[in-house]
Structure 1
Amino acid sequence: MGGTRTLKESHILLIHPRPEELRVLLSQMQSAGVRISMATTSQQGLQRAQALPPDLILLNVQMPKMDGLTLCRLLRETPAARHIPIIFLSTVSTVEDRLQGFALGAVDYVTQPFVPEEVMARICIHLARGVQRTEQRDPPDQQLPQDADEITLRAAMRLIDQQLDAPPPLREIARLVGTHGKRLTTIFRRYLGVTVYAYIREQRLRKSQELLASSNATIQDIADLIGFRSAANFATSFRERTGMTPSVFRKQIREMKQWGGA
């Protein structure tokens, strides 16, 4: 499929608090035959991306209440929207900002003010690449809608798992997934039956067991990787939870593997 045809047949969702600032770009998109949907808040954008998934999302970073980075995090946990290419628009751009955007799954990052023709060219490129992504989409039975709380839960779990050595405080975790601490705790209790802090402890234990079983990392290194201040503190917590020390656990796992391979 050629670039022009791809652009003409596309549906783009613009999520921006002041779409009038992009009137030249919007005019060029309309002239090219693009179908444009607009949202002026992140919550509205999330709902529209779920209800009628677009081919590409233009997302402003500086959104009120819930910023664009948080929205991107939620979109990546939404089955109907997780594969949609996202291009960030921002009036402020540092290397750190761009890296964070790409880490969250954005395909591009454009700083305002920009040249509309350049943005159009980038849109064409990512739409063409998006066609190639269709085969990677989830099977239909995994495309079922999720409620907002489940999306928030998945985003928080992923965030915690990625920062297991030093997870943010509860209030910050909640902010980064678009909610507040009390509601996030309620969501964790509802779906997982544990608090956020209990989930962090369980994930640290699970990760430590994986590392003990599959790596030659020292006990101290494993303690550092999962956020314990010392190997002694890690060993004490591990023993309280499993009834054995990390060294004994590792020894038993290796003996089982040797026995199984004999």
Structure 2
Amino acid sequence: MLDMPHILVVDDTPEHIGSLIQTLRSQRWRVSIATNAAQGLQRAEAMAPDLVLLDVRMPEVDGFVFLRLMQEVPQLRQIPILFLTSANTVEERLEGLSHGGVDYILKNCEPAELVARVRIHLRLAPRAMPAVSDDGIRVTPDDVVLRAAMRLMRRRLSEEFTLEQIARDVGTYDKRLSALFRQRMGTTVFAWLREERLQESKRLLADTSLGMQDIAEGIGFRSACNFTTAFRTRMGVTPSQYRKAVQEGEGVDVAVDHVG
């Protein structure tokens, strides 16, 4: 029995899909159930399931946030996550797939269709391993939240957002996220973000021919003037001077260490 595929269902109302769960068990697959995202993440780390069936509309932490957190646990990243949900808008389906879900199935599907899709993804997926980081150290819940926040902000360098929005999108609250950055990174959330934006601007200056306004907008500054001031303050040279020095193969003294 232990060699049979293990499926984790994360759904706040599993009683509404009782017939689907029973169909899965009839295939002699092991099925575990978590009724919220926090419990689901704990069970995924402890059990290393072969596949996760995930609802979208759950209270407090929704399915999209759960998927984002799962991706920050190195040994759980390869587990296929299939959305099994009644959330059927085009936007929700696209968001689920763009976040890394491998399939999107509606709860009113035929049981045979669910079995067929699960069977395909079980065949394609590698078996999960215990949840440890790349260096063999177990990943803590704080590690997961911090990494998810950093990854999310790197993807949104051009956007304006509040601390509350980022915290919500990684399943926590603003004070906890702020404390994590101070304790683990030695800086504030927005100081870290500013550094990331400026580091990305160095790459854009060196590797592209984009103008200053385009670079400024691409990394979240309102104007080329604001960007130039921030860059000169941090790097000791203007963006134009930095680009010219890189193009001419000259060294540029930007000795302050990269935060994070």
With normalisation by structure 1, the TM-score equals: 0.89
Q: Does residue 147 of structure 1 match 2:166?
A: no
Q: What amino acid does structure 1 have at the position aligned with 2:152?
A: L
- Residue 200 of structure 1, aligned match among 170, 181, 193: 193
Q: What amino acid does structure 2 have at the position aligned with 1:17?
A: D
Unaligned runs of 5+ in 1: 1-7
Structural RMSD (CA): 2.2
The 5 A counterparts of 1:78-89 are 78-89=73-84
* Alignment correspondent of 2:226: 233
Q: Does residue 50 of structure 1 match 2:72?
A: no
Moved more, 105-114 or 193-202: 105-114
Taking the aligned partners of 1:138 and 1:92, their CA distance within structure 2 comes to 29
* Alignment correspondent of 2:256: none
- Residue 179 of structure 2, aligned match among 160, 165, 186: 186
* Alignment correspondent of 1:61: 56
Taking the aligned partners of 2:9 and 2:124, their CA distance within structure 1 comes to 19
With normalisation by structure 2, the TM-score equals: 0.90
Q: Does residue 14 of structure 1 match 2:9?
A: yes
Moved more, 165-174 or 201-210: 165-174
Q: How many residues align?
A: 249
How big is the shift at 1:83? 1.1
Deviations 1:53-84 (A, max 9, x none): 10000011111211111111100101231110
- Residue 177 of structure 1, aligned match among 145, 150, 170: 170
**Higher helix content, 1 or 2:** 1
Q: What amino acid does structure 2 have at the position aligned with 1:108?
A: D
Taking the aligned partners of 1:146 and 1:186, their CA distance within structure 2 comes to 18
* Alignment correspondent of 2:161: 168
Q: Does residue 77 of structure 1 match 2:67?
A: no
Q: 1:225 to 1:102 in 2, by over 3 A?
A: same
Taking the aligned partners of 2:150 and 2:170, their CA distance within structure 1 comes to 10
Moved more, 110-119 or 42-51: 110-119
Q: Does residue 35 of structure 1 match 2:27?
A: no
Secondary structure at the counterpart of residue 22 of structure 1: helix
How big is the shift at 1:252? 0.9
Q: Is the 8 A contact 1:79 1:145 kept in 2?
A: no
What is the percentage of aligned positions where both structures have the same residue?
46
Q: Does residue 107 of structure 1 match 2:97?
A: no
Unaligned runs of 5+ in 2: 252-260
How big is the shift at 1:167? 4.0
* Alignment correspondent of 1:4: none
Taking the aligned partners of 2:140 and 2:132, their CA distance within structure 1 comes to 19
